[in-house]
């Protein structure tokens, strides 16, 4: 019995360690994305090209935060996903409305 | 609740959701984050609508310097990773290491806050750019200041948890509390990603 718990504990620790490794890789990618974003702005490229790329980079970074750092990729995150996506949907509508208000 | 149930020798796989209270905290907190998303969206929308209304005062392009924003971004991003480390040690039931990594997180957060205060001070006293200068000023300080307020609250929250539980050690009663504070900290970084993209980077293009 004691041995069993030990094996289980070791397995769990190993799994946690692997997850931690994944999160460090995620972090490295986020740093790279940030560097690309700042680099593109300093490089004085065309506005029409830079802005969409910046927004995509931001969206990917946020996805990394949510799914890896905030563990949304784990099981049992259906409700959190529902809540955050509903929030994101209303957020999108809010920003759209306020931007369109000043169109003319 | 006896000590045995709340103080297991090893942590279950998801200590933050091992008790009913933990489950409730977890769900309730994600609900709150959904609401926060909308709150920040309304401030972002306002900023986007008003950012060109500078009232002949300084605009985004003249004001913002990217060096400081880059440092702030790195500080906050790194503090996100250190709080992930804290949660890693929580799952392995090593309380001391968790406290250490949370402490590092707090220091990085304080560094971020210091930079932000310096930035605002510089704008107000160096450039004469205040909350009342223009609609752009109001929108800028409201959005970025609200984020700074969240950082301040997050720091106080984490410090309070660290101090309050310093002698208690880790158990299934306070594990959800630490977990949720770390979720909040990540969310602050999520908002910052959009601030440095939409306000600063898109401001100077």
Test B30 with A84 for CB contact under 8 angstroms: yes
Task: HSE, CB side, 13 Å, CA atoms: give it for residue A93.
Answer: 6
Tell me what pLDDT residue B145 has.
97
Taking only the tens place, the pLDDT of each residue in A44-82 is 889 999 999 999 999 999 999 999 999 999 999 999 999
* Cα angle: B113, vertex B115, B120; to 5 degrees: 95
Tell me what pLDDT residue A5 has.
75
Tell me what pLDDT residue A7 has.
87
Question: Is B68 touching A (CB cutoff 8 A)?
Answer: no
Q: How far apart are CA B147 and CA B117, in angstroms?
A: 12
Q: How far apart are CA A64 and CA B79, in angstroms?
A: 15
Mean pLDDT computed over B107-123: 97
> B155 Cβ partners below 8 Å, 6+ apart?
B106, B109, B110, B113
In chain B, the residue whose alpha carbon lies closest to the alpha carbon of A61 is: B193
Distance of CA A92 to the CA centre of its chain: 17
> What are the structural domain ranges in chain B?
15-204
Taking only the tens place, the pLDDT of each residue in B154-176 is 999 999 999 999 999 999 999 99
Mean pLDDT computed over B80-91: 96
Taking only the tens place, the pLDDT of each residue in A3-38 is 777 888 889 899 999 999 999 999 999 999 999 999
Q: Which residue has the tokens 């600063």?
A: B200
* Chain A contacts in chain B segment 102-161 (CB below 8 A): none
ipTM, interface predicted TM-score of the complex: 0.92
Test A47 with B33 for CB contact under 8 angstroms: no
Contact assessment for residue B147 and residue B72, using Cβ atoms and an 8 Å cutoff: no
Tell me what pLDDT residue A104 has.
67
Lowest-pLDDT choice from A1-5, B110-114, B132-136, B147-151: A1-5
What Rg do the C-alpha atoms of chain A give, in angstroms?
20
Considering only the beta carbons, identify the residue of B13, B66, B77 that sits closest to A38.
Answer: B66
Question: In CATH, what number does B15-204 get?
Answer: 1.20.120.80
By C-alpha distance, which of B55, B42, B40, B49 is closest to B131?
B55
Contact assessment for residue A69 and residue A26, using Cβ atoms and an 8 Å cutoff: yes
Distances (CA, A) of B201 to A1, A67, A101, B152: 58, 25, 23, 24
Instruction: Give the distance from residue A3's alpha carbon to the nearest chain B alpha carbon, in angstroms.
Output: 14
Tell me what pLDDT residue B178 has.
97
């Amino acid at each position: 019995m004691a041995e069993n718990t030990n094996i289980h504990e070791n397995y769990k620790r190993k799994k946690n360690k692997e997850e931690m490794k994944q999160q460090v890789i995620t972090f490295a990618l986020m740093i790279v994305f940030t560097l690309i974003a700042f680099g593109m702005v300093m490089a004085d490229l065309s506005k029409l090209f830079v802005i969409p790329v910046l927004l995509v980079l931001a969206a990917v970074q946020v996805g990394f935060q949510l799914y890896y750092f905030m563990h949304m990729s784990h099981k049992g995150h259906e409700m959190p996903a529902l809540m955050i996506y509903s929030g994101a949907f209303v957020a999108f509508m809010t920003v759209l409305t306020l931007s369109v208000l000043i169109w003319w | 609740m006896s000590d045995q149930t709340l103080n297991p020798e090893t942590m279950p796989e998801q200590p933050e959701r091992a008790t009913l209270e933990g489950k409730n905290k977890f769900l309730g907190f994600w609900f709150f984050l959904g609401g926060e998303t909308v709150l920040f969206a309304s401030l972002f929308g306002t900023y986007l609508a008003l950012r060109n209304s500078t009232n002949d005062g300084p605009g985004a392009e003249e004001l913002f310097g990217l060096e400081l924003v880059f440092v702030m971004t790195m500080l906050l991003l790194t503090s996100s990773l250190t709080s992930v480390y804290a949660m890693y040690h929580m799952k392995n039931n090593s309380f001391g290491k968790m406290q250490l990594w949370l402490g590092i997180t707090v220091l990085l957060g304080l560094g971020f806050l210091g930079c932000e205060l310096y930035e605002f001070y510089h704008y107000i006293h160096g450039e004469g750019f205040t909350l009342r200068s223009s609609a752009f000023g109001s929108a800028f300080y409201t959005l970025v200041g609200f984020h700074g307020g969240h950082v301040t609250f997050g720091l106080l929250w984490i410090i309070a948890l660290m101090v309050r539980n310093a002698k208690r050690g880790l158990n299934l009663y306070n594990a959800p509390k630490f977990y949720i504070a770390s979720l909040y900290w990540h969310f602050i970084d999520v908002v910052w990603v959009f601030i440095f993209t939409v306000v600063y980077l898109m401001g100077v293009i």
